[in-house]
Structure 1
Amino acid sequence: MGEFSVRTSAFTHGEAIQTKFTCEGDDVSPSLTVGDVPDDAESLAVVVDDPDAPTATFTHWLLWNLPPDTVEIHEDVPQTETVGTLDGAVQGTNDFGELGYRGPCPPEGDGAHEYRFTAVALDETLDLDPGAKRRDLDDAMGGAEIASARFTGTFER
């Protein structure tokens, strides 16, 4: 078995994120591919954030309770509490105050920001209500994390 991974075919790790996936474009989530999930995982979570935001790390997407056998997270996940096409995975509230994915949208003229797409393998299914915020998800994942994987992209306006 290889190393737990998450990636996208939409852009290259560490390179610019296509406008389609940002506030300047269609603002839809890119497709993600998950690989080599640990055998003892009970669920997966995805967090997308911007550590370069002016005041504090800005959260763009919270998604959890994905089945451990998830291989593909399709493009343009709807902004709903639960996602039927992902076996009822649950979405939280991003720092825009909305449910689901909102893409990179740094302040104009602030230079390139790095966006982190992190997948987390958990040894349990989280008992967390839809719409939960980042702090609640972080607390719930607390001691349940088995492994994590990350890729990044950049965007500037």
Structure 2
Amino acid sequence: MRVRCLVVSLASSWRHRTLAVGAMLVLFAAPGTGARADGAFTLTSATVRAGGTMQNAQVFDQNDCKGGNRSPQLTWRDAPAGTRGFAITMFDEDAPGRGWWHWAVAGLPATVDSLPENASSSGFLQKLGAVEARNDFDTVGYGGPCPPPGKPHRYIITVYALNSADLRLAQGRPALMFDHEIGTATIGSARLVVNYGR
């Protein structure tokens, strides 16, 4: 009987302690308490819309695709604590085989939270000290959508928060290598998916 009372007492004590800790956490995260309330890590764009259709300005400009091949404007918010740099990729998961790499960028400083449209070709990324991969078109930098005629493809644009400012990646290395190195340092990511078909 005494053992059962002790178990009940301990369970009751644990429950009260859990409730108290939970209340403290809610208070700590609540706005107006003086603590920083982090929102979700998000990615938005002024040139492409999540779930929408890629504009001609972002489409590839070689072979039978006649677009502007301008990398999209991107803005990200509320990166996780401990972020020391950023990376960006654009990947077509609907391409035959293993998918198709359109863009990979690493070496973006932690102080940067947006890129203008055409950051890839304009020299903006180089001024930041960032490096770009060789995409699956076998060109360095951004290569826009250019799927075969048929069902639209989904293009996943992802910004990665990294725990390292230097992934030791060189300009023009394969996108797969960028993807691997980015994966080893990622502490958070945000993405948007845009469609394009011909």
Is the TM value for this pair above 0.5? yes
Q: In structure 1, how many angstroms separate the alpha carbons of the residues matched to 2:52 and 2:179?
A: 27
Q: What corresponds to 1:150 in structure 2?
A: 191
Q: Which has the higher contact order (CA 8 A, sep 6+)?
A: 1
Q: Is the 8 Å Cα contact of residues 37 and 68 (structure 1) preserved in structure 2?
A: no
Larger Rg: 2
Distance 1:30 1:82, change over 3 A: closer
Among the aligned pairs, what percent are the same residue?
A: 32
The ranges of structure 1 where at least 4 consecutive aligned residues each deviate by more than 6 angstroms after the TM superposition are none
Q: Which runs of 5+ in 2 are unaligned?
A: 1-37, 61-65
Query: After superposition, where does 1:6-155 map in structure 2 within 5 Å?
Result: 6-23=43-60, 24-79=66-121, 83-85=125-127, 87-108=128-149, 110-124=150-164, 125-155=166-196
- Determine helix, strand or coil for the equivalent of 2:101: strand
Cα displacement string for residues 24-71 of structure 1 (whole angstroms, at most 9, x for unaligned residues): 321111110011112301110000010001222100001011011212
Q: CA RMSD in A?
A: 1.7
More helix by share: 2
1:80 is displaced (CA, Å) by 8.2
Q: Which runs of 5+ in 1 are unaligned?
A: none
Q: Is the 8 Å Cα contact of residues 90 and 158 (structure 2) preserved in structure 1?
A: yes
- Determine helix, strand or coil for the equivalent of 2:177: helix
Q: In structure 2, how many angstroms separate the alpha carbons of the residues matched to 1:79 and 1:12?
A: 21
